[in-house]
Amino acid sequence: MKISMVSEHASPLATLGGVDAGGQNVHVAALAEALARHDVDVTVHTRRDDPDLPRQVELGHGVRVDHVRAGPAHYVGKDALLPYMDDFADDLHQQWRRDRPDVVHAHFWMSGLAAVRAARPLGVPVVLTLHALGVVKRRHQGRKDTSPPDRIALEQRLVSDVGHIVATCTDEAFELVRMGAPRRRISVVPCGVDLSFFRPDGPADEPGPGRARLLFVGRLVERKGVGNVVSALAKVPDAELVVAGGPDPADLDVDAEVGRLRALAAQEGVADRVRFLGRVEHHRLPELYRSADVVTCVPWYEPFGIVPLEAMACGVPVVASAVGGLVDTVVEGGTGLHVPARSPERLAEALGDLLADPGWCRELGNRGARRVRELFSWDRVGGLTLNVYRRILAGQSVRTRRPSLPAGV
């Protein structure tokens, strides 16, 4: 089977942790590789954002990355990419006319627009994974949402129109139905995690002496809720907070979001217990996760959230806000605790309860590692995704049962 993935801003080759490079990049790269292990031939089309990039790069056996010329050959924030999507689509259409894929799998709404425009005249089915929904973003970020003004309307039309949608969690499926997407055209397949790499055994960084370690990993954007963890720390004595993500470590002192969070830490009287690492190379993360007593993941909203899977895979309990994908992945009292988003008080209570009981933390961590191994390997996710493609090609209804995510382990 030949699959074309479209991921206009999120290249599988990007460095992770910056403002626009996170879970989608990981998802696209790992899914492509997992499909290749199922003998699928995969091309990932992403925007050429550097003049030195060759047209095609081999990512590994059976996967190549194709750099599409659309817009300037330098970084452009994803919220400014819409004007280039027609050129992106035209390039794809020309390629697919010469070499027709069996299925196109678009990632993110703008890729969806380009994919539908390029594939429809050729009769190639398009599957869409949105990774985030404009309507949810607007609900939580209000005027801070920098998406193009037309996003919600365009996305709404797209979800009613596209051949099939693979949502990554139950909450997203509900949102899609609310937006008018036909239920029979939605499947739920979660993201996965690299289990050969994120595992409980192996070396761990040294935590600070005599202090429990709380860890945040992710892009340093306000909605990820790091500010709430900093505020909660004031009520969690004897703990340090390590923050991985954001700018290059050399730029920590000039980064606006780090500046805001440092000021908040000073105001809360916890500045000496918060450490910003800046962007940490992905391959360094397992050691960091294993050094943590608890990983905190308390965004205001979260389309899926790969970080809790990585933490659980390393055997660390997660305190997560009860939003989006985190409701499916973290099991309350099973692999971690849920707290309401934007509530430093409830977060501090949960952290205090966990840190007071190391045996409980270990138990939650072990169960997390088991749950992730059972449900979230990329091989399993690749297999489920391949089933969706096969059923589309066979002309069958693709509706899956509710995501096969048991409530506990």
Where on the chain is the footprint of ligand UDP (CB under 6 A)? 16-17, 22-24, 26, 217-219, 244-245, 279-280, 282, 285, 304-307, 310
- Closer residue to ligand UDP, CB minimum distance, 71 or 247: 247
The pairing of strands 63-68 and 56-60 is: antiparallel
Beta strands in 219-352 (DSSP E): 239-244, 274-278, 294-297, 318-321, 336-339
Q: Return the biggest CA–CA distance within the chain.
A: 64
Q: How many CB atoms lie within 10 A of CB 138?
A: 15
Minimum CB distance to ligand UDP smaller for 159 or for 285: 285
Nearest approach, Cβ of 283 to ligand UDP (angstroms)? 8
Nearer to ligand UDP, 242 or 392 (CB): 242
* Identity of the residue, 26 or 229, whose beta carbon is nearer to ligand UDP in the bound complex: 26
CA geometry: angle 37, 41, 42, nearest 5 deg:
95
Q: How far is the CB of 15 from ligand UDP (least distance, A)?
A: 8
Closer to ligand UDP at the Cβ: 65 or 244? Answer: 244
Question: From the CB of 232, what's the least distance to ligand UDP, in Å?
Answer: 19
Distance CA 62, CA 37 (A): 8
Sheet with strand 103-107: strands edge to edge? 56-60, 63-68, 41-47, 2-6, 103-107, 126-129, 164-167, 186-188
The smaller minimum CB distance to ligand UDP, of residues 88 and 301, is found at 301
CB-count exposure of residue 42 (10 Å: 0-12, 13-18, 19+): buried
CB of 408 to ligand UDP, least distance (A): 22
CB of 218 to ligand UDP, least distance (A): 5
Residue closest to ligand UDP when measured from CB atoms: 22
Cα separations in angstroms, 193 against 190, 342, 376: 10, 27, 6
- Residue 330 CB, shortest distance to ligand UDP, in Å, is 12
Handedness of CA 23, 287, 258, 15 (dihedral sign): negative
